[in-house]
Chains A and B, each alone.
Chain A
Amino acid sequence: MEPGSASKPNPPFATPRNCILVVEDEILIRMMVSDELRDAGFHVIEACDADEALTILRSVVPDLIVSDIRMPGSLDGLGLLAAVRESFPMLPVIITSSHLPSAAPVCDSATQFVAKPYRPEGIIKAVRGELAKPT
């Protein structure tokens, strides 16, 4: 018998591996992406804009961020990316937009661009590809 096997399960509060922060201001797109990622086995945190993303990043460090570019709030997606890079230079970030940004903001090795509209499986493939890269 394993010690403690009869005790109540602990809440799954420790940030699990494969934690993805999805930053998207359109709730239906955010929900679609998040649900697909959950179905693929990822733990997902949903943020409606860059301000919410920065709030959660003060408490939780995800394994990867998926962020839209055009969002309301004090920062857009590229502003969020710049803020993330100050504290987490190697944290993988997938930037999504229907408008191709200039190359400069997204040219580092930890950042990938995925054009909208995208299929959920395209995002999942991109997420898996980024997480599989050697750190």
Chain B
Amino acid sequence: MSADPAAEEIVSSVLIMDGDIVSRHVIADYLRHCGYGVVEAANTDEALIALCEPTLSVDVILCDMSALGSQTGFELASWVRTNRPELEVRLAGGVEMAAQTAAELCESGPHLARPYEPEAVVDYIKRLRASRLP
């Protein structure tokens, strides 16, 4: 008897909250290449809206500690631990830590592999920032 095909459709989801669009976008794409479903939040208010949306499935939150909003990243993490204790919260304090955390998620995630090294992600973010047009 074949395995339940619905089980193979389950994709883990990561909510990435980062107030810097450059690093948020690049790391979100990295996680998508790993096979994750990704929700992008620009601040803690958007993250809370997503977390309170019953149709949205989130398994892990990758939270920039310096994210803006009516709450800090720490306060959001505290809210999650109280109200959504089943969720895993990963706090990141900079682009290097966020990329490394994303790489660790990739190694335990849907494809169980890094699509490319986190150092390449950080280098690309730095190049994007450095290449900004005036």
Contact = CB atoms under 8 A, between A and B. Distances in A.
A27 B17 CA distance: 12
A31 B50 CA distance: 10
A49 B129 CA distance: 19
Nearest to B50: A27
Contacts of B22: 55-56, 59
Given A9-B116, A48-B46, A55 B21 contact: yes
B116 A28 contact: no
B42 A58 contact: no
Contact of B53 (A8, A12, A28, A58): A28
Contacts, number: 60
Contacts of A8: 116
Contacts of A56: 21-22, 25
Given A46-B25, A47-B21, A48-B46, A59 B128 contact: yes
A28 B50 contact: yes
B33 interface: yes
